[in-house]
Amino acid sequence: MAKKIVAGNWKMNKNLQEGIELAKGLNEALAADKPNCGVVICTPFIHLAKVSEIINHNVIGLGAENCADKASGAFTGEVSAEMVKSTGAEYVILGHSERREYYNETPEILKEKVDLALANGLKVIFCIGESEAQRDKNEQNAVVKAELEGSVFHLSAEQFKNIVIAYEPIWAIGTGKTATADQAEEIHAYIRSVIAEKYGAEVAADTSILYGGSCKASNAPELFAKPDIDGGLIGGASLKVADFKGIIDAWK
């Protein structure tokens, strides 16, 4: 059975002090009311070391939102997977559509990042998903399959166990437009079948496939009730303890 996970993606929000407050608040809320799923928060790089000291890692995993495609050296402004790991983080988000679109991250670049993340003992939350134009042309299955083939299907089955997939239709991210639970389930089941073809049924059944895109406390129960939806990757609604906790509680 795939692990159930609710992961937050803070994106470029919260200064250091605000981030510390949010992490403290979440840590307290989950200490008082234990979650029924894995919880992860992915924060800007500058928050990682501090937040790592604040949270109970038995309850909340910590992740970065990106890492470099190079191991180390003269790459001004970049942050390596090894540096991320050294903060106490356990995860890194890679392949988010905002990175692909605004920072020109190609499948080849993402493959390098995935390899470095795994080599440094990080688990990868790997994002895939189609644009609105691609969905209109019914190309969503081909798009997600190509994204998997382009950056993670070179991994061995053993390595692939460290990959969490996040299906995030680009047209649903930050737009308030959520995929319906049926729409999401249909493509999640397809993604699992593609993983099964590549790695076998057991690995596929054990792979957590999260839904992302305007997921909130009000729609999370219906989404999470679907057999192939193992949780969510949450942007906007991860920025307030009550909103994020509301989604975590959908597993209760």
Footprint of ligand PGA on this chain (CB under 6 A)?
9, 168, 173-174, 212-215, 233-237
Find the catalytic residue in 98, 130, 147, 168. Answer: 168
To ligand PGA, the closest distance from the beta carbon of 28 in angstroms equals: 23
By beta-carbon proximity to ligand PGA, the closer residue of 38 and 213 is: 213
- The sign of the torsion formed by the CA atoms of 54, 61, 230, 210 equals positive
For 112, the 3-state DSSP assignment is helix
**DSSP string across 211-235:** EESS--TTTHHHHHTSTT--EEEES
Q: How is residue 238 written in tokens?
A: 């991860």
To ligand PGA, the closest distance from the beta carbon of 134 in angstroms equals: 17
**Cα-trace Rg, the chain:** 17
By beta-carbon proximity to ligand PGA, the closer residue of 122 and 233 is: 233
For 102, the 3-state DSSP assignment is helix
CA angle 19, 22, 25 (to 5 degrees): 150
By beta-carbon proximity to ligand PGA, the closer residue of 199 and 220 is: 220
By beta-carbon proximity to ligand PGA, the closer residue of 63 and 212 is: 212
To ligand PGA, the closest distance from the beta carbon of 247 in angstroms equals: 10
Strand pairing class (209-212; 231-234): parallel
To ligand PGA, the closest distance from the beta carbon of 161 in angstroms equals: 22
Q: Which residue number has the CB closest to ligand PGA?
A: 235
What residue has token string 């190309």? Answer: 139
Per the annotation, the verdict on 108 as an active-site residue is no
CA gap 164, 206 in Å, rounded: 10
To ligand PGA, the closest distance from the beta carbon of 86 in angstroms equals: 25
By beta-carbon proximity to ligand PGA, the closer residue of 39 and 199 is: 39
- Phi, psi of 9, rounded to the nearest 5 degrees: -125, 100
CA gap 15, 122 in Å, rounded: 24
Find the catalytic residue in 96, 105, 130, 185. Answer: 96
Per the annotation, the verdict on 47 as an active-site residue is no
Which sequence positions are flagged as catalytic? Answer: 96, 168
